[in-house]
Chain A
Amino acid sequence: MADNNSIISIRDVVKRFGSTVVAVNNVTLDIRRGEFFALLGPSGCGKTTLLRMLAGFESPSEGQVLIDGDDMDGVEPNKRPVNMVFQSYAVFPHMTVHQNVAYGLKVTGTPRAEIDDKVDEALSLVQLETMARRKPDQLSGGQRQRVALARALVKKPKVLLLDEPLSALDAKLREQMQIELVHLQKSVGITFVIVTHDQNEALSMADRIAVMEQGDVLQVAPPSELYEYPNCRFVADFIGKMNLFDGRVTGVRDGKVVIHVEAIADQVAELALPHDEKASGEVGIAVRPEKIRLSVEEPGDQPLRLKVKVTELVYYGNESHVFLETTSGARFAANLKNESRDTHSGIVSGEEVWVSWRPEDTLVLTA
C-alpha cells in the first residue's frame, strides 16, 4: 500500500488520552523520502503527539505507523530508525560535547575506533569541531542545539524528528538556524520532520507542510500553495493574515460563481469569481492584506472597489499596515510596501480612500 517514495506512512492513526481526550484524530499522512516536512499548528493541536508516535514515545490507539515500509507497532524507541532533537535539546549535562555525540554509538556497541571518526565527522557537520572537549554549560543555546543535532545525525537515522527546535533561540539566531537547517538537510539527504507552531519557520524551511488543528490534519501542501490556496477558513486564517467575509453563492454566470457578501453589499452587490468547484450555499470569501490596493482616486477599472475610511495606520519602516472600515462596518486590513520615501502620501488616518483587489486574488472557501 505504501508506495516506495514515502519513508513514513501514517495510516488512520488515532491517539486518545484517557477516554475523553482525542489528541490525534484519524490522521493519514505520507512523508516522502528526503523531504523537509513540517507539522504546523497551534499549541494543543496534536502535532507533538504525532511526532512522539513516530519516535515511539507514544503508541497509537488505532491505526498504523510505517517507517520505510516496516510496521512500527510494538517497536521501542531505541529500536527505531529515527532520532529526535528535543525542544529542550536534552544535551547530557555531565558529558562533554564529544561524549554526548558518541553516546548513541557507544550504547549500541559501535567499535571504539569507528566512534571517534564518526563523532568528528558529525561535529564538523554542525561546525563544532573546536568545542569537542567542552561541557554543555560552557556552550550557548545555539551551540547546545548543534550538539543535539550532531548527536542525532551521527546515528544516520532514516528520519530526523525535530520538536520545536528553534523556539528557545532569539530571533536573529533563529533566522540563521533556519537557513542552516535547510542546508544541513539538503547536504545529509535525511528526511527531516519538524514540529512547529511558527508559520514563518514552516513556510521558510519546509518542502511540504501539514496544518493541524484539534487532532485533524486540515491541509498538506507546499508552502506557496498553502499560502495562496488554503482549503479552509482555519488554514486561511492561521497562515498569514487574511480578510475573511461570509458569503452566499447565488448562482453561476459565464463560468464564474456569483456570490453575495452581506458585509459589503451596500457597495458591491455581487462578486463574480473564477472558481472551479461547484461551490454552493454558504462560503467564505478571503483576500490577503498585501493583495489589496489603496488609492485616493476611485480606481474605475477595478470591478471590486470600495470606499473606506482609514481607522488606523501602523508604520513598520519597510511596510505599513492599514486598517480600514466601510460606512456599513465591514473591516479590511491592507499591507503597503513603502517602496519609496513619499509613497502613499494620501493615506492618512481618518481620511477616506478606495480599496480594490483583483477577482483572481480572491479565495472562495467552501469549508
Chain B
Amino acid sequence: MSRDRANPLDYSRKTWMRLSMGFTFVFLYFPIVSLVAFSFNDSKRNITWQGFTLRYYEKAFDNAQLHEAFLNSLIIAGISTTVSTILGAMLGLALYRFRFPAQGPYEGMVHLPIVIPEICMAVAMVAFFATVNMPLGLTTITVSHIAFSIPFVAVVLRARMAGFDHALEEASYDLGATQWQTFWNITFPYMKPGVLAGALLAFTLSLDDFVITFFTSGPGSTTFPIKIYSMVRFSVTPEVNAASTVLIVITLALTMVALIIQSRSQGNPHG
C-alpha cells in the first residue's frame, strides 16, 4: 500500500508553504479590496459600512476639479509615454548593439534614476528648472516624467533584446535589404513586445507618480494623484475611494492589454 506522499520538492503541498502564501496574498490585497469595497459605502465618514451606493462615483464624475486633474494626468502620461518610449527604446537598442568606450559606467549611470530615491530626483528637477528659469507647470511635470521613465523603458528593451539572434539582421542585410529595411522588417517586429511593455510601464509610472509631480507642479497643473491627496487631507470620503478605484481599473485594464499582446507574440519561439 503506497500512500500519496509529498515529494521533497513538492513545496506547494506543504502546509507551512500554503499558509505563508495565503498570508502574503491577504497582506497584499486586503487594503485594495477594502478600498474598492468602501467606495460603494453609503456613508460620509467612511469608517463603518452603512450600505451600498453608487452615489460617490456619480459625485466623483461630477467633480470638475477631479475631471481637470484626471485630464492633466492623461495629457502628461500620454506625452511622456510617447517621448520616453521612443528615446528609451533607442537607448536600450544602442546599449544592446554597440560597444563603445566606458560603456559599463554609462550603462550604470543610465540606470541610476531607477535606484536613487525619488525625492532626490524631485529636488534635482526643481533645482534644474529654477536654473533654466522654467516656470513650473504641465511642461515641467511632463519633462520630469520623461526623464524618469526613459531608464525603465531602456531596461525592459535591453532585456528583450538579450534573446535576439543578431544573425537575423545579418541574414536580412545579406539578402539585399538596406539597414533601414532590416530595422523595420526584422529588428522592430522583434522589439515590439518590449516596446509595448516599456510604454505601458512608462504610462502607469507617469499616471500614479506623486513625489516628483508634487515638486514640479505649479499653479493650475494639478494631477490626479495630487488631487486625491488634497482631497484626503480634508476628509476620507468614499469619493476618494471611488476615484482611486477608477485609477486601479484603468491600470489593471492596461496591464491586461499588455499581457494579452505579449502572450500573442509568444506564439513563436523567439517571441
Contact = CB atoms under 8 A, between A and B. Distances in A.
B172 A55 contact: no
Contacts of B271: 93-94
A141 interface: no
B176 A107 contact: yes
B161 to A, nearest CB: 14
A129 to B, nearest CB: 21
Interface string B147-176: 000000000000000000101101111111
A88 B174 CA distance: 15
A179 B96 CA distance: 40
B190 A94 contact: yes
B167 A104 contact: no
B25 to A, nearest CB: 35
Query: Which of A90, A136, A148 lies at the interface centre, i.e. has the most chain B CB atoms within 10 A of its CB?
Result: A90
Interface in A102-128: 103-104, 107-108
B269 A93 contact: yes
A104 B268 contact: no
Interface string A28-63: 000000000000000000000000000111000000
B94 to A, nearest CB: 20
B176 A78 contact: yes
Contact of A104 (B176, B190, B270): B176
Instruction: Name the prevailing secondary structure of the B interface residues.
Output: helix
A234 interface: no
A77 interface: yes
B135 interface: no
A155 B175 contact: yes
B177 interface: yes
Given A104-B176, A107-B185, A137 B269 contact: yes
A83 B174 contact: yes
Interface in A73-111: 76-79, 83-84, 86-88, 90, 92-94, 103-104, 107-108
Given A93-B268, A94-B190, A77 B167 contact: no
Interface string A133-148: 0011100000000001
B263 to A, nearest CB: 15
A151 interface: yes
Contact of A103 (B165, B185, B270): B185
B167 A86 contact: yes
Contact of A78 (B165, B168, B174, B186): B174
Contacts of A86: 167, 170-171
B104 interface: no
A84 B269 contact: no
B12 interface: no
A328 to B, nearest CB: 53
A104 B190 CA distance: 19
A292 B269 CA distance: 52
Nearest to A94: B189
A77 B178 CA distance: 9
Contact of A77 (B173, B189, B267): B173
Interface string B116-154: 000000000000000000000000000000000000000
Chain B interface size, under 10 / 10 to 19 / 20 to 34 / 35 or more: 20 to 34
A92 B176 contact: no
A103 B175 contact: yes
Given A77-B174, A78-B173, A93-B271, A88 B186 contact: no
B133 to A, nearest CB: 48
A153 to B, nearest CB: 11
Query: Which of A78, A87, A155 lies at the interface centre, i.e. has the most chain B CB atoms within 10 A of its CB?
Result: A78
A135 B178 CA distance: 24
A84 B189 contact: no
Contacts of B178: 78, 107
A84 B171 contact: yes
B181 interface: yes
Contacts of B167: 86-88, 90
Interface string B175-204: 111100100011001100000000000000
A138 to B, nearest CB: 9
A136 B268 contact: yes
Interface in B247-271: 267-271
A79 B176 CA distance: 6
B175 A83 contact: yes
B175 A104 contact: yes
B171 A78 contact: no
B181 A77 contact: no
A193 to B, nearest CB: 14
B170 A135 contact: no
A107 B175 contact: yes
A124 to B, nearest CB: 20
28 contacts: A55-B174, A57-B170, A77-B173, A78-B173, A78-B175, A83-B175, A84-B170, A84-B171, A90-B167, A90-B168, A90-B170, A90-B171, A92-B172, A92-B186, A93-B190, A93-B269, A93-B270, A94-B189, A94-B268, A94-B270, A107-B185, A135-B267, A136-B268, A137-B267, A151-B171, A152-B174, A155-B175, A155-B176
Interface of A: 55-57, 76-79, 83-84, 86-88, 90, 92-94, 103-104, 107-108, 135-137, 148, 151-152, 155
Interface of B: 165, 167-168, 170-178, 181, 185-186, 189-190, 267-271
Q: Sorted from nearest, which 10 A-B pairs have the closest CB atoms?
A: A104-B175, A90-B167, A93-B270, A90-B171, A107-B177, A108-B176, A86-B167, A93-B268, A137-B269, A94-B189
Given A94-B190, A137-B268, 13 more contacts: A77-B170, A78-B177, A83-B175, A88-B165, A90-B168, A90-B170, A93-B270, A104-B175, A107-B176, A107-B178, A107-B185, A108-B176, A108-B177
